[in-house]
Amino acid sequence: MTALGASIADLAATEVLPPDRRAAMYAVYAFCRIVDDVADEPGPRPGKISGLAAWRARIAALYAGHADDPVTRVLLRAVEAMAAKLAGHAMFQGAAAERLRMCGDCRVIDIHSSQAEVRITDL
């Protein structure tokens, strides 16, 4: 099966999901396709790096509650729904709950830094 065929099959499988989860999966798929296109399209490497950096900033912004396009708006709703569902779980209280609202890069830095260091969220 081709990569496109696998993608179509995966999207067809989402039809059994509730509408909110299906929309989130479509948004994840759209994001993956967009950044893949940025990386794969012809052109100089600096342009690709810039395009990917712009998407990294958009993803970081959505974890801060900001979304400026259709894909990140749906992803933001999915992140907020996940955080709400986990809010009552004992493992996701205090600092762990705050980490859920961080982008992946920020979360890793936060987990592996000491309290005496400047935190990424302070910058």
Q: Would you tell me the crossing angle of helices 19-40 and 70-86 to the nearest 10 degrees?
A: 130
Interatomic CA distance for residues 58 and 88, integer angstroms: 28
Tell me the pLDDT of the chain (123 aa) as tens digits. 334 444 656 667 778 888 888 888 888 888 888 989 998 888 888 898 899 889 888 988 888 889 999 989 988 888 888 888 877 887 777 777 776 666 655 655 555 556 665 555 565
Interatomic CA distance for residues 71 and 84, integer angstroms: 20
Total number of domains in the chain = 1
Residue type, 50: S
Assign 42 to helix, strand or coil: coil
pTM (predicted TM-score) = 0.66
Domain residue limits at 118: 3-122
